[in-house]
Amino acid sequence: MEKKERGSFKGSIGFILAAAGSAVGLGNIWRFPYLAARDGGGLFLLIYLLLAVTFGFTLLTSEVGIGRKTKQSPLTAYKKLSEKWGWIGFFSCLVPFLILPYYCVIGGWVLKYFIAFATGGGARAAEKGYFGAFITGHVEPVLYMLIFLLVCAFIIFKGVNAGIERSSRVLMPVLLVMVIAVAIYSLTITHVSDDGTVTTGMDGLGVYLVPSFKGLTVKKFFIIVTDALGQLFFSLSIAMGIMIAYGSYVPDDADLVKSVNRIEFFDTAVAFIAGVMIIPSVYAFNGLEGLEASGPSLIFESLPKIFTQMGAVGNVVGAVFFAMVLFAAITSAMSILEAVVSSFIDKYDMTREKATIAETVFCAVIALIVCFGYNFFYFETTLPNGSKGQILDILDYLTNYIFMPVISIATCILIGWVLKPKTITDELKKNGEKFGREGLYVVMVRFIAPVFIMILFLMSLGVIKLS
């Protein structure tokens, strides 16, 4: 049978922008700032940075190296490395398969709010109960979800060069300009409360950057580390099959070491700027209490109220902000979709067109169930980590707290002990490149990463408890 052309990135820049676009998603924009504000500001930033250049670097390097070495998608790459460890590939494909539906639902929410602010309806979108009324609706959430999904599917349908690479070269520069512009504006905000108290964006910047050790205990420290590591998985798109898929499209003559370093830099920089963008503005208007909001409540309830308090300029700022969030969501969602599509192509010898259509249908069906989880199928359950949730939260818990840590631990064991780190380090140095952190990589992948991730994994499940 004739082997299908998988496609490849034309150069390192296309790969870096696509990988960075995958990393710069909703997790960086709504979760990173909240965790930083809750977990001691500068203390969280320091821990996150240390984890990024050790754990994040190790897992990112492993996955990109696996992808280029095997020239396979996540579903088939592990089996090509080792027949007995092919099961990791199944979970590496299952994770994006389960994440994509609820990511598209949230992407639909972002699209709704962008249109609201762009058409001058920001004040109405900031009203109490607006968000709840929208997500519990029967038609609108489904419609916006489908539009968002079809945009991502169109990009993937076009292929690696014409779709992923070309869109990344346009969306990523625009996204970065928007993030920086909103961050700068956030720092210039001045708010005068009813009692005459003046609070500025720069005051909020201090809360973000200055380490706070107030109430710090051993338990609290490990909670911060757990939060930072959990954020790292989503920020760098590791343990989701994405970097294996993208790595498989990297040409053999590309400098993989430099590419990984640049992806690390882009992700960390944007995550940091996302905090500068959100924390100062929220703090200026709502103080520390406003920073307690996370996830949907932060993006879809707290920030719209702040935009409307800005007066006439609020609609413009709100439209730019949600346009930026929308671009970030699209670049991430299309990479999640590609991880599954590439798996279908390699495993079942499907054409890209058929694989994209098949996954789009699967995703739409599951996303429909997620949408109806707020009305027809509504229920609430207590998850093992103690949080309350329903269908969307269950999918998020399964992928983030169970499957992704298991994939990471298994990958470290496979590379560190079964195949040996040389499998990856040789791939990175195949063109004579220098791998400056090779010693760190070997120690991390063999000893520190699997043990540490296992401990944090058991802590998140409640198996290990700190008094």
Closest Cα partner for 274 from 26, 47, 17, 22? 26
SS3 label, residue 413: helix
What is the percent of the chain with per-residue pLDDT over 90, rounded to a whole number?
Answer: 65
Contact 254, 65 (CB under 8 A): no
In 165-248, DSSP assigns E strands to 190-192, 198-200
Which residues, in sequence order, are bridge partners of residue 41? 211
CB of 259 closer than 8 Å to CB of 113: no
pLDDT of res. 317: 92
* Residues 349 and 365 sit within 8 Å (Cβ to Cβ): no
Give the pLDDT confidence score for residue 295 in this predicted structure: 65
Set out the domains of the chain in order of their start, with CATH numbers: 12-460 (1.10.4160.10)
**pLDDT tens per residue, range 321-356:** 999 999 999 999 999 999 999 999 999 999 999 999
What are the b/e assignments for 256-280, b being 16+ CB within 10 Å?
A: bbebbbbbbebbbebbbbbbbbbbb
User: The tokens of 225 are what?
Assistant: 């580390």
Looking at the predicted structure, is the pLDDT value of residue 310 above 70? Answer: yes
Q: Residue 3's pLDDT is what?
A: 44
Note whether 51 and 228 are within 8 A (CB).
yes
Q: pLDDT (tens digit, 9 = 90+) per residue, 253-294?
A: 999 999 999 988 888 888 888 889 888 988 888 887 777 666
**Strand runs (DSSP E) across 6-106, as ranges?**
none
- Confidence at residue 294, expressed as pLDDT on a 0 to 100 scale: 61
Query: What is the pLDDT, as a whole number, of residue 84?
Result: 96
pLDDT for the residue numbered 10: 83
pLDDT over 80 (residue 102)? yes
**DSSP code per residue over 159-186:** -IIIIIIHHHHHHHHHHHHHHHHHHHHH
Give the count of beta carbons closer than 10 Å to the beta carbon of residue 143: 14
pLDDT at 292: 67
Residue-level pLDDT at 1: 38
Task: Name beta bridge partners: 190.
Answer: 200
In this structure, are strands 190-192 and 198-200 parallel, antiparallel, or unpaired? antiparallel
User: How many Cβ atoms sit within 10 Å of the Cβ of residue 199?
Assistant: 18
pLDDT at residue 349 in the model: 94
Render pLDDT for 169-219 as a digit per residue (tens, 0 to 9).
Answer: 999 899 889 989 989 999 999 988 888 889 999 999 998 999 988 888 888
Q: What integer best gives the mean pLDDT of the chain? A: 91
The per-residue pLDDT for 461 is 79
HSE value, Cβ hemisphere, 13 Å, CA-based, for 149: 27
Q: What percent of the chain has pLDDT over 70?
A: 97
| pTM, two decimal places | 0.93
The pLDDT value given to residue 318: 94
pLDDT at 38: 83
Higher pLDDT, 161 or 30: 161
Residue 167 has pLDDT above 90, yes or no: yes
> What length is written for the chain?
467
Query: Given its phi and psi angles, is residue 359 left (phi above 0), alpha (psi -120 to 50 degrees) or beta?
Result: alpha
Give the C-alpha distances (Å, rounded to integers) separating 438 from 70, 449, 463. 21, 15, 34
Which pLDDT tens digit goes with each residue over 35-84?
A: 888 888 899 999 999 999 999 999 999 999 999 999 999 999 999 999 99
